[in-house]
């Protein structure tokens, strides 16, 4: 018989037999259920921050019973870690596309293609920058970073930062953008790429078109601003 950790919460909408049947059915659908929980968790953490959501909230978003989340992941912190790791797997193909090669194609065109890839990936996965911003704001006035934010910086953001800095270094070496301190330019570049996507509703209000329809214009604005 399956046993689940005590979540200190009870599902009041189901009788115990019905509740057990629902949980068992979800367990039989293991991989897809797990993925659905992870994606729901990412959306919830991005929208409300870690402290603004409960396992019950995420369960409702995922369409599962909250005890199923406890079975798969344990605590909310464990779910947060697993959700970010799942998104990191999605980054692998994205990272491979960010490179200016030495082939015969125009390096500026390659740089533009890389910038567009970053924008499109961020549009498809806006949860990571939003989660990052939530944690950064919470930790801004603290004397030291929380353990959760420190892990986010070291395990997730550092990998992304390394990849973007490599791209920018290649662009500088190819003469596409000016030679400037890479640590400083990283934040300027990131602000240019991410801000419009994070404030998508503001962009849509003033531009009058969905954020997905401004990818080319946004790409051209960034490349035109930085490329020589």
Determine the average pLDDT of the residues in 4-21: 40
Q: Is the distance from CB of 111 to CB of 100 less than 8 angstroms? A: yes
Task: Report the CATH fold assignment for 97-226.
Answer: Tetracycline Repressor; domain 2 (1.10.357)
Model pLDDT for residues 20-72, shown as the tens digit of each residue: 444 444 444 557 888 899 999 999 999 999 999 999 999 999 999 888 888 88
CA 108 from centre of chain: 27
Per the structure block, which two tokens stand in for 92? 């692998």
User: Which stretches of 49-75 are DSSP H helices?
Assistant: 55-62, 66-73
pLDDT confidence tier of residue 4, bands split at 50, 70 and 90? very low
pLDDT at residue 184 is higher than 80: yes
Q: Is the distance from CB of 200 to CB of 147 less than 8 angstroms? A: no
Whole-model pTM? 0.76
Q: Is the distance from CB of 46 to CB of 59 less than 8 angstroms? A: no
Per the structure block, which two tokens stand in for 111? 């740089």
Fold matches, 16-77 and 97-226: no
pLDDT at residue 10 is higher than 70: no
pLDDT confidence tier of residue 224, bands split at 50, 70 and 90? very high
- Residue-range domain boundaries for the chain: 16-77, 97-226
Model pLDDT for residues 98-144, shown as the tens digit of each residue: 777 666 578 899 999 999 989 988 888 888 889 998 899 888 877 78
The number of residues in the chain equals 228
Residue 52 to residues 35, 55, 57, 69, 112, Cα–Cα distance (Å): 21, 11, 10, 17, 38
Residue 149 to residues 107, 157, 186, 197, Cα–Cα distance (Å): 36, 10, 20, 22
Alpha carbon distance 36, 121 (integer Å): 20
Q: Does domain 16-77 fall into CATH 1.10.10.60?
A: yes
Question: Of 181, 180, 176, 191, nearest to 227 (Cα)?
Answer: 176
Q: Say what the pLDDT of residue 100 is.
A: 74
Q: Is the distance from CB of 47 to CB of 127 less than 8 angstroms? A: no
């Amino acid at each position: 018989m399956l046993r689940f950790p005590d979540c200190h919460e009870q599902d009041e909408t189901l009788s115990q037999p019905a509740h057990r049947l629902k949980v068992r059915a979800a367990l039989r659908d293991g991989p897809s259920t797990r993925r659905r929980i992870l994606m729901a968790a990412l959306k919830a953490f991005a929208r409300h921050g870690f402290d603004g959501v409960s396992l019950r909230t995420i369960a409702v978003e995922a369409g599962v019973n909250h005890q199923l989340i406890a079975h798969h992941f344990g605590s909310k912190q464990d779910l947060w870690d697993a959700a970010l790791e799942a998104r990191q797997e999605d980054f692998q193909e994205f990272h491979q596309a960010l490179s200016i090669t030495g082939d015969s194609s125009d390096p500026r065109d390659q740089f533009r293609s890389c910038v567009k890839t970053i924008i499109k990936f961020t549009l498809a996965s806006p949860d990571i920058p939003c989660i990052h911003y939530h944690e950064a704001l919470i930790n801004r006035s603290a004397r030291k970073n929380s353990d959760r934010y420190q892990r986010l910086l070291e395990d997730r953001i550092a990998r992304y930062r390394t990849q973007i800095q490599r791209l920018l270094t290649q662009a500088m070496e190819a003469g596409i953008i000016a030679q400037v301190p890479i640590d400083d330019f990283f934040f300027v570049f990131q602000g240019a790429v991410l801000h419009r996507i994070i404030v998508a509703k503001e962009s849509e209000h003033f531009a009058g078109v969905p954020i997905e329809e401004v990818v080319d214009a946004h790409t051209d604005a960034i490349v035109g601003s930085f490329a020589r």
